[in-house]
A and B are shown apart, each in its own frame.
Chain A
Amino acid sequence: MGDKIILEDKFQKRIDAGEKIEPKDWMPEKYRKTHIRQISQHAHSEIVGMLPEGNWITRAPSLRRKVGLLAKVQDEAGHGLYLYSAAETLGISRDQLFDQLHTGKAKYSSIFNYPTLSWADIGAIGWLVDGAAIINQVMLTRTSFGPYARAMVRICKEESFHQRQGYEIMLGLANGTPEQKEMAQDALNRFWWPSLMMFGPRDEDSPNTEQSVKWKIKRKTNDELRQQFIDITVPQAEYIGLTIPDPDLKWNEERGHYDFGEIDWDEFWTVVKGNGPCNKERLQARIDAWDEGSWVRDAAMSYAEKQANQIGKEKLAS
């Protein structure tokens, strides 16, 4: 027991000194578990996040929009892979990670449990959802666990195109016909509040925050990140003449930040607990993709084994 306290103390000193922790270093079990949970949740979000956007690839309004959306969805797949690999360095297998997703043991970001009803939703997702993700991810490039931080650096480099393509879609619609502008406003109305929820519960309702900040897993709290997102995004909405659907939103000169209205936390918890508009559909799509791809994975493995045996025989014969 004494040894463990000494190790934990040494570990905290390394974190305090700004050192990065690498997979084979000693770490408290809770640090490992928290990371497996957080990194895998992040990976699952990238993978499930492909579904609402994939819905519009075949119906993108122009080739320019289509290649952009295709490239973005392909990036999300790549981001999922970087993150799964980072999680695996902590001693959990890819199949176990998938199993946790498919059995509902692991979560993914609730934002992907909302439907994409119109083309404008693709714009709103790129602008708001990727915008919120970037705020979180930029913070995570400085997180204490090396593989997670490195994956984040790579992801952040690629993510900025996602947000710009989204905003460009909104810009086009907002400057289009009255119907197009209305479509953009409707997408903003539906995605604004769920985007704010992406940062998680209020600090006082987030029991893990203190430990996460101490271990430098998080460098800022949920509320700090949410405020940062609002302050950045409100002027972007004003620029294209769209209205943020919050009557309480007001610049507070004294604080130097926007004040904003109350988030519907009942809705947040309903979606987290699996009862959002698309939870069942998203999970089923993932499970089907995994199950229906099973013969491909097995065939590839059999082929690889056969090839390896063939080479082995040829070597013996020569």
Chain B
Amino acid sequence: MGKSEISKNEWPLYEIFIRSKNGLEHRHAGSLHAADAEMAIENARDVYTRRQEGVSIWVVPSAEITATQSDEAGELFEPAADKVYRHPTFYDLPIELKHI
């Protein structure tokens, strides 16, 4: 069966982000289908916070997310690999020095 034939009325996919407690950031928990954002929040509450895992929920339509492609990962992220001078341990200081 072709995809279009059976998924004509499939609910769109939402990505779910949960703040586990105040003071922490929202983190990606997973995704789920819902007819709209309000239903996505209601479903996320049931699917991802049955054991008090959250105090706040964000839902984002998956189709709205722009992501890097894995085949461009090298080009994007490898240039940082040889820049050790961006780390504090690159700089040699006398061991007896304190608070720096």
Contact = CB atoms under 8 A, between A and B. Distances in A.
Contacts, number: 64
Contacts of B51: 158
Contact of A24 (B31, B46, B47, B70): B70
B33 A94 contact: yes
B63 interface: no
Interface in A57-101: 71, 74-75, 78, 81-82, 85, 88, 93-96, 99
B92 interface: no
B89 interface: no
Contacts of B66: none
A85 B36 contact: no
B80 to A, nearest CB: 18
A304 B36 contact: yes
A154 B10 CA distance: 26
Contacts of A297: 9, 11, 35
B39 A85 contact: no
Contact of B30 (A82, A96, A158, A300): A82
Contacts of B39: 300, 304
Contacts of B52: none
Contact of B32 (A85, A99, A301): A85
B7 A78 contact: no
A93 B35 CA distance: 15
B9 A298 contact: yes
B100 interface: no
Interface residues of A, number: 29
Size category of the binding interface on chain B? 20 to 34
Q: Is the interface of A mostly helix, strand, loop or mixed?
A: helix
Most interface-central of B6, B35, B51 (chain A CB within 10 A): B35
Contact of B6 (A26, A96, A150): A96
A85 B30 contact: yes
B50 interface: yes
Contacts of A158: 50-51
A22 B70 contact: yes
A93 B10 contact: yes
Given A85-B30, A300-B39, A93 B7 contact: yes
A29 interface: no
Contact of A95 (B10, B31, B32): B10
Given A95-B6, A298-B9, 10 more contacts: A24-B70, A74-B46, A81-B32, A93-B3, A93-B7, A94-B33, A96-B1, A151-B30, A297-B11, A301-B35
19 contacts: A24-B70, A78-B46, A78-B47, A78-B50, A81-B32, A85-B13, A85-B30, A88-B31, A93-B6, A93-B10, A95-B3, A95-B6, A95-B7, A151-B30, A301-B9, A301-B11, A303-B36, A304-B35, A308-B36
Interface of B: 1, 3, 6-7, 9-11, 13, 30-33, 35-36, 39, 46-47, 50-51, 67, 69-71
Interface of A: 22, 24-26, 71, 74-75, 78, 81-82, 85, 88, 93-96, 99, 150-151, 154, 158, 297-298, 300-301, 303-304, 307-308
